């Protein structure tokens, strides 16, 4: 095992970034940030409270009301966002190093996420320049058109899994459409988020447009959700937290976009390309340490191929390389935090009573410390088992057999979540019919999770509210004002003129 890697030039503390300045919390409070390999505190971050959120919202509101950003031409905003993308790309190695150290993600996967962050900015920078809005003509009488306007201060609350990339996924469209923002990143992983301030300054973003407040979700996040001058909240995280946000935002009638948890099925029919399906479903749950909302964490396999699938899948899962996050050979790194590690290990112990353990099952050999979990596979898991129903969010997968298409559909839809699904079959009619009957926001046919940024991203049931991606993001971050113009004479009914 290679020694623990600590990046050079780590900050000793992380501050908020409000109105163009790095500042401490108003009450001076901080919280500890742990490294997932050592589980030791490596820095302290400013712990934001309601007063700090208020300070950030005031700065963002001032930049929105009095600053140039909302009033710039789309092309001018686009140029700045392309510079952001250039800077992210040019610093991808450093970003990945910090992200990997802070979150436990394997370095090669963290590098891919850094590049995706740059692509998110490029995509929305291009989209707002090319954007068209609807116009409706009543020939000779009327023309009606849509006038899009930025809404104001957007509150962005992001999770600890692939944090930098998911921050970019919200920052890109929120800024491209002319809003100002207050970002509250996850408290487990504040390190890469602290790089945004320097990137935006260098790119030429006007002061106060981007603000960052670190802190605990129940304090800083809650204050952002409840703030009367924040009309929009975009949240990615757990479904339970989403329910709280929904309730606490209700008195203010805020716009909400929430991408929540998942327990996504991968359905493998007997006519599937078995090798491709195994490769994809291994990657689909063990990439990003299994800490991904769209993980295919329930694999449903047709009975004719079930035994062969389980045997081959288990053998391949045991060959997945667990290792230090900074090692390029690592495929599964360390889970983000000891609290999360304990939760995943509890599910593994539960799984031993609810299924047949065929791979993994706990801490891998040679890793006495750190939040390491061997890729774990349970077969023969019944649909009422907790490990079948509940989101584990780690390198743990359950495999369940089915006989008919109808049974597969009932199993796939038989959970409270509905984010993603993956279907493996070479029958074209079945592929489309089955996909359209799934209660999920997204379906991939004969593919792992390959994102097309133009398509809607979001879930149904407990997996979320609303969609982002392409024009759906533009819709969320703008008001669509309808302007009606009469051409020719006025067409008014006449009241009040008597006979």
Q: Which residues are catalytic?
A: 259
Could you give the CA distance from residue 386 to residue 57 in angstroms, rounded to a whole number? Answer: 41
Residues in the chain: 499
- Please give the helix or strand (H or E) that residue 65 lies within, else none: helix 50-66
Structure tokens given for 264: 């996504």
3-state secondary structure of 101: helix
| Residue 438 to residue 420: CA distance in whole angstroms | 9
Q: What is the DSSP letter of 147?
A: E
Rounded CA separation 346/316 (Å): 24
Pick from 48, 297, 368: which is nearest to 185 by CA? 48
CB 255 within 8 A of CB 411: no
Q: How far apart are CA 28 and CA 46, in angstroms?
A: 7
Pick from 74, 55, 190, 86: which is nearest to 478 by CA?
Answer: 74
Q: Which residue has the tokens 């981007």?
A: 210
What is the distance between the alpha carbons of residues 183 and 154, in angstroms, rounded to a whole number? 8
Burial of 494 (0-12, 13-18, 19+ CB in 10 A): exposed
Residue 364, both tokens: 């891998």
Helix 107-130 vs helix 92-103: angle between axes, to the nearest 10 degrees? 120
Q: Which residues are CB-neighbours of 482 under 8 A, at least 6 positions away?
A: 144, 145, 146, 147
């Amino acid at each position: 095992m290679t020694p623990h890697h600590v990046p050079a030039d780590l900050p000793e503390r992380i501050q908020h970034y409000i109105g163009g300045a790095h500042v401490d919390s108003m009450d001076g409070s901080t919280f500890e940030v742990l490294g997932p390999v050592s589980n030791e505190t490596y820095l302290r971050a400013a712990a934001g409270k309601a007063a700090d959120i208020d300070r950030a919202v005031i700065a963002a509101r001032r930049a929105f009301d009095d600053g140039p950003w909302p009033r710039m031409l789309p092309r001018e905003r686009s140029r700045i966002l392309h510079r952001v993308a250039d800077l992210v790309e040019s610093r991808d190695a450093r970003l990945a190093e910090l992200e990997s150290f802070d979150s436990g993600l394997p370095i090669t996967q963290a590098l891919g996420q850094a590049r995706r962050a740059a692509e998110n900015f490029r995509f929305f920078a291009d989209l707002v320049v090319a954007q068209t809005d609807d116009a409706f003509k009543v020939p000779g009488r009327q023309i009606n058109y849509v006038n899009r306007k930025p809404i104001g201060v957007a509150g962005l609350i992001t999770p600890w899994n692939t944090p930098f990339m998911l921050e970019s996924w919200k920052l890109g469209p929120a800024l491209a459409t002319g809003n100002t923002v207050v970002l509250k990143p996850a408290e487990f992983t504040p390190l890469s988020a602290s790089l945004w301030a320097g990137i935006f300054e260098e790119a030429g973003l006007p002061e106060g447009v981007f603000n960052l407040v670190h802190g605990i979700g129940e304090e800083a996040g809650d204050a952002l959700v409840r703030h009367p001058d924040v009309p929009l909240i975009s949240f990615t995280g757990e479904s339970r937290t989403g329910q709280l946000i929904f309730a606490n935002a209700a008195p203010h009638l805020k716009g909400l976009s929430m991408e929540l948890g998942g327990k996504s099925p991968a359905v493998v029919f007997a006519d599937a390309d078995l090798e491709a399906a195994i490769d994809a479903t291994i990657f689909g749950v063990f990439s990003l340490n299994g800490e991904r909302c769209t993980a295919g964490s329930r694999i449903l396999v047709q009975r004719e191929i079930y035994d062969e699938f389980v045997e081959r899948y288990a053998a391949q899962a045991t060959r997945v390389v667990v290792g230090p996050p900074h090692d390029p050979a690592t495929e599964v790194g360390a889970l983000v935090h000891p609290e999360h590690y304990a939760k995943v290990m509890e599910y593994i112990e539960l799984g031993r009573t609810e299924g047949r353990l065929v791979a993994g099952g706990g801490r891998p050999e040679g890793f006495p410390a750190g939040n390491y979990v061997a890729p774990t596979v349970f077969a023969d898991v019944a649909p009422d088992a907790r490990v079948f129903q509940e989101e584990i969010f780690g390198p743990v997968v359950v495999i369940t057999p089915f006989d008919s298409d109808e049974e597969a559909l009932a199993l796939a839809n038989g959970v409270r979540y509905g984010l993603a699904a993956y279907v493996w079959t070479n029958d074209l009619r079945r592929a489309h019919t089955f996909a359209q009957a799934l209660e999920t926001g997204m379906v991939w046919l004969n593919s792992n999770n390959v994102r097309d940024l133009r398509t809607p991203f979001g879930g149904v049931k407990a997996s979320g509210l609303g969609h982002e991606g392409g024009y759906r993001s533009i819709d969320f971050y703008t008001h669509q004002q309808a302007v009606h113009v009469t051409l020719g004479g006025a067409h008014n009914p006449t009241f009040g003129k008597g006979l």
